[in-house]
Chain A
Amino acid sequence: MTGRVVTVTSGKGGVGKTTATANIGAALASEGHSVVCIDADIGLRNLDVVMGLENRIVYDLVDIIEGRCRLKQAMIRDKRLKEMYLIPAAQTRDKTAVSPSDMVRLCEELRIEHDWILVDSPAGIERGFRNALAPSDVVIVITNPEVSAVRDADRIIGLIEAEEKGPAQLIINRIRPDMVKRGEMLSVDDIIELLAIDLIGLIPDDEEIMKGTNRGEPIALNGKSVSGQAFRNIASRLQGNHVPYIDLYASNRIFDRIARFIRTGGD
């Protein structure tokens, strides 16, 4: 078995890297793949709490690299998915505790027994980002329809190209179809034209996603959720499948109609 390493990065912080990593991982694992999620944000550990595994941490990424534990001891098995694991970031160290070649070596070992290794990159363009990028076969850049996030995404895409890790693939998160329709939010087409890279996923701005992270339960496992479907579609596209994009505008029209129906009592 030769697993593939997928790095999720963004440039700007707070656009949804960690949530996307947890959900794409959950979607792949729910299909029966063996998945390891690595939190590469040393000093700002987050993926554990989004995955709901914060109480199970004994060893972390830096413990593996510095030889204080065996690899398997630091891999925390998910509560629901038998073949999903987390390697948490160290909380009391900084990014210099890990080097890009450490990450390459670690992922080489993980590739042997697992199908997918997802690396949650820290924000920024420094050491932590270089660490996350070094082992990757596939790079996913995530952005929001905000000028600051799109600008930082462009910068990161340029750096990925320079490292010959490209072409990166794009997830656009927190889309509000109602605002796009009113001309008050950059559209998917606008962002693709500006960044000029291929799309791999569209995630609507959906409060169910926060409800999921609040509980530490990935929305990707919720079969009824539109956002859950969006994450499952990304997992499928990563496997090379051609999956049509969810028509966010159409689903919104249905919500509008239902809302109107409720308001007017069905007239």
Chain B
Amino acid sequence: MSNFLDRLLNREPKSAKVAKDRLKLVLIHDRTAMTAQSLDRLKDDMIRVVSQHVEIDRDAVRVEVHKDGRRQRLIADIPLQTKRIRR
């Protein structure tokens, strides 16, 4: 919300907020040894494997690492293609 307000007023976010957001990402990388590149490769592999079984919306796939206390979880959101019904 404060982010939204900042953008609306074209205001720089406060440095503490920037620090926290940067640290969130850094800690995930430090803890999992995962980089943006390795996450991209994983995403490509997942798209390849899943699309062998079901039709998916490739452009909308999101694969992210979330921090949950001292643990990390991999969250994949893979929207399925709606089946077109032919007349």
Residue positions of A touching B, CB distance < 8 A: 147, 150-151, 154-155, 157-158, 161, 180, 182-187, 190, 194, 196-197
Whether A182 touches B20, Cβ cut-off 8 Å, given contacts A151-B27, A151-B30, is no
Which residues on the A side are within 8 Å of B22 (C-beta)? 147
Closest B residue to A193 using CB positions = B20
Q: CA–CA, A245 to B61, complex, Å? A: 45
Decide if B16 is an interface residue (CB 8 Å cutoff): yes
- Which residues, 4 to 34 on B, are CB-close (under 8 Å) to A? 14-17, 19-20, 22-24, 26-27, 30-31
A154 touching B27 by the CB < 8 A rule?
yes
Q: CA–CA, A197 to B71, complex, Å? A: 12
Whether A147 touches B23, Cβ cut-off 8 Å, given contacts A183-B17, A184-B15, A184-B16, is yes
B19 touching A186 by the CB < 8 A rule?
yes
Q: CA–CA, A186 to B15, complex, Å? A: 8
Closest B residue to A183 using CB positions = B14
Interface centre among B14, B16, B17, B24 (most CB of A within 10 A): B16
A161 touching B16 by the CB < 8 A rule?
no
A151 touching B23 by the CB < 8 A rule?
yes
Pick from A150, A155, A180: contact of B23, CB under 8 Å: A150
Separation in Å of the A124 CB from the closest CB of chain B? 16
Instruction: State the 3 A-B residue pairs at the shortest beta-carbon distance, nearest first.
Output: A183-B14, A196-B69, A196-B70
Separation in Å of the B34 CB from the closest CB of chain A? 14
B24 touching A155 by the CB < 8 A rule?
no
A154 touching B16 by the CB < 8 A rule?
no
What are 12 A-to-B residue pairs whose CB atoms are below 8 Å? Answer: A147-B22, A147-B26, A154-B30, A158-B70, A183-B14, A183-B15, A186-B16, A186-B19, A187-B16, A190-B16, A194-B27, A197-B70
Q: CA–CA, A184 to B16, complex, Å? A: 5
Which residues on the A side are within 8 Å of B23 (C-beta)? 147, 150-151, 186, 194
